[in-house]
Structure 1
Amino acid sequence: MPILGCAILPHSPMILDPTREGCPDGVLELHEGCKAVGEVVAAWEPELIVFLTPHGISASAPKSPRPGIYLTPSATGTAERNGQWNDYELAIQIDAEVATGFLNHLGSSGVACVKITGTEAPLAPSEIVPLWFLRRVALLKRAPKYMLLSLPTPVGGTSVVRSQTSKERVPDMLQYGYHLHKYLAWLPHKIAIVLSGDLAHTHATRCKDPVYMPNPDWKLPVSDAAAVFDGIVEKWASTLNPDFILRDAAALVKEAVSCAFDGLVVLQAVIEKEGKSKFSQHVFARHRPTYVGMLAAVFQVDRKVPNPEFTYRPPVLAE
């Protein structure tokens, strides 16, 4: 069945609660933008949500990292980071039959994957934060199941390490997206695709609160490429012009450091195969509260977006 649409949601836990004391500027805008994305996805009434995550379980390898496919009946976790946000906890139901079919499809195409098996899989903030904003779908008359896909992680696994080779993985991620679209076209389900990912991790910031800052062990640099990279991704999200991702953002991702980039390439491949002209697109929010840029956006098939009630309007501040 044709895809209903695609969405991008960030996964930094700071956006979960804009009322926290000392919350950085921009968190409220991103929080409301993510809520709007969740409302749009729920309005599609999907039967299957394909969820792409850059930090899930996969196989690290220097030259040929492999993606992961979750075959467990469920997955659960919290958004805990820096000793905070551990009260944000949820579980999702996974469609193991659909996931097994995709695993077999990739295998027949020569793409090796990691099978995540067992009774229940763990989820981390990179999954929990976006899923928190998708909670409305669980209230649908026919709540969707998920196909949880982990994008390949090079040795080391951090966003810095991932971004060093992201440009080199563009051909592989395009092929992965083409395989994903081909398989989804065979399914009878109404499908939404959601990408979890943050933009550049190398913004300069005056924030000193460790709750909102990266782990020092990550050794994230500061780069002028960060703001340029984020602006290019927003241009892509507003136009779906592939050059913005495959050429311009690819040229900067090593310096900008972005865990979302691989998934953006996959979305580009899916949108290309589905037909770019079918999609209307809307960016609900883009900001960089501290060191990391974030984007909340939807690409909807055959309908205008957003609905007026989903449009974020900044609050009027008293003078």
Structure 2
Amino acid sequence: MKSAEVSILVTLTIAIDFVMGELKGAFVMPHGGIALDPSKFHTTNKTALEEAWKIHTACAQIGRIVTELQPDLILLSTPHGISDMNNFLLYLNPKMEGYANTDNTGPPPYVSVSVNSDVNVSRDLVQHFGSKRNVSGLSAYGPPEESTEPFPLRWGEVIPLHFMPNLNQTKVVILSQPSRRYNDDMPTMIPELLKLGSDIGKYFKSEKKTAVVIISADLAHTHSKDGPYGYSNAAQPFDDACGKWVENLDEQSLTKEAASYVIKAKSCGYTGLVMLQGLLSASSDGITSWQSQLYANYHPSYYGMMVASFLRK
């Protein structure tokens, strides 16, 4: 092929990518307050404190990566937002803001974020999926897309977004997981979550905007008998299976192995991880078009916290 033809082909490829948009990357980030500022983590365990700092450093690194990617928008999945019993919700206020504690158990100091919502994308997703995917929209204190009051956010959204340096330049779309995730039949949601993730991935292929996805997720909440959910021997195997999924891009590690432990492990973020698997698999070359990296997978407190990235090869 002649150099002029190569030049035209490269230019055309870049133009197509710009017109069609793309999903530039996906990330798993914890929402435990420990990640915000480990200096305020109330522990005398040296190993736990070291792990907390590793998690914090990894979250800051994800923030820098997202800044370098310069996406038009961030789609964030939260398991601790305002939720419907059955439907996945997309928030429809033009502005969203909220706060979180640095340890999730004590008094201030707080951290806060204020973000602009891409209500056009949120509305499109609601209309695109609707009842066929159990997706609906929710507005607060006013008409959808018009309310002058901000939609309220808390730790599930605020903590991951806190690590994004240029939020004033990037719009945000928030997807809230339904509260039926708390039920013991959570594994039965797996096919639905894979399909929804796949459909979201295909949606962004057809859009003229670039995006990154952030899955707000903590892992097993049963690592300690002193924690609010007690101890379970399923906790560590669950966290290990999630880590193996990231490192090997092996769906079975997540949808079979981790699924077998999730009820006893009590992970708030599991549904978001499964949805992400479906989204990544929707790429033109499937899951193999992604390069994954596991930055941290620890439980400095009673719950597991994982930081991971999935970037295009």
What TM-score do the two structures reach when normalised by structure 1? 0.82
Q: Classify 1:21/1:124 alpha carbon distance in 2 versus 1 (closer, same or farther; 3 Å).
A: closer
- 1:49 counterpart letter in structure 2: I
1:56 and 2:81 aligned: yes
Residue of structure 2 equivalent to 1:297: 308
1:108: how far off? 6.8
1:40-79 mapped onto 2 (5 Å cutoff): 40-60=65-85, 65-79=86-100
- In structure 2, runs of 5+ residues without a counterpart are 1-20
Contact persistence 1:7–1:299 (CA under 8 A): yes
Cα distance between partner residues in 2 of 1:270 and 1:59: 22
| Native 8 Å contact 2:296 2:307 kept in 1 | yes
Report whether the alignment pairs 1:239 with 2:236.
Answer: no
* Secondary structure in 2 matching 1:32: helix
Structure 1 residue 144: Cα displacement: 1.3
Q: Cα distance, 1:173 vs. partner?
A: 0.9
Q: Percent identity?
A: 29
What does residue range 160-309 of structure 1 map to in structure 2 within 5 Å? 162=182, 164-204=184-224, 216=228, 220-274=229-283, 275-302=286-313
Tell me by how many angstroms 1:153 deviates: 1.1
- CA–CA distance in structure 2, aligned partners of residues 84 and 48 of structure 1: 32
Name the structure 1 match of 2:40.
20
d(CA) in 1 for partners of 2:77 and 2:69? 18
8 A contact 1:77–1:91 mirrored in 2: yes
In 2, the alpha carbon distance for the partners of 1:273 and 1:114 equals 24
Q: CA deviation at 1:4?
A: 0.5
**What is the aligned partner in structure 1 of residue 166 from structure 2?**
137
Unaligned 5+ runs, structure 1: 155-160, 303-319
**What's the offset of the Cα at 1:297?**
0.7
- SS of the residue corresponding to residue 309 of structure 2 reads strand
- Looking at structure 2, the residues matched to 164 and 86 of structure 1 have their Cα atoms a distance apart, in angstroms, of 36
Separation of aligned partners in 2, 1:98 and 1:170: 25
Which residue does 1:39 correspond to in 2? 64
Q: What's the CA shift for 1:84?
A: 2.9
Deviation >4 Å, runs of 4+: none
The residue aligned with 2:176 is: 150
| Shift in Å, 1:18 | 1.6
Distance 1:282 1:171 in 2: 25
How far, CA to CA, are the matches of 1:42 and 1:249 in structure 2? 31
Q: 1:86 Cα shift?
A: 4.5
Rounded to whole Å, the distance in 2 between the matches of 1:43 and 1:181 is 21
Amino acid at match of 2:68: A
Q: Aligned letter for 2:31?
A: H
TM-score (norm 2): 0.84
Which structure: larger Rg? 2
Q: Aligned-pair RMSD on alpha carbons?
A: 1.8
Distance 1:187 1:203, change over 3 A: same
In structure 1, C-alpha distance between the alignment counterparts of 2:153 and 2:275, rounded to whole Å: 21
For 1:17 and 1:84, how far apart are their aligned partners in 2? 14
Distance 1:165 1:85 in 2: 37
Match of 1:100 among 123, 130, 141: 123
CA distance in 2, matches of 1:163, 1:289: 26
Structure with bigger helix share is 2
Name the SS of the counterpart of 2:212 in structure 1: strand
Contact 1:45 1:137 in 2 (8 A): no
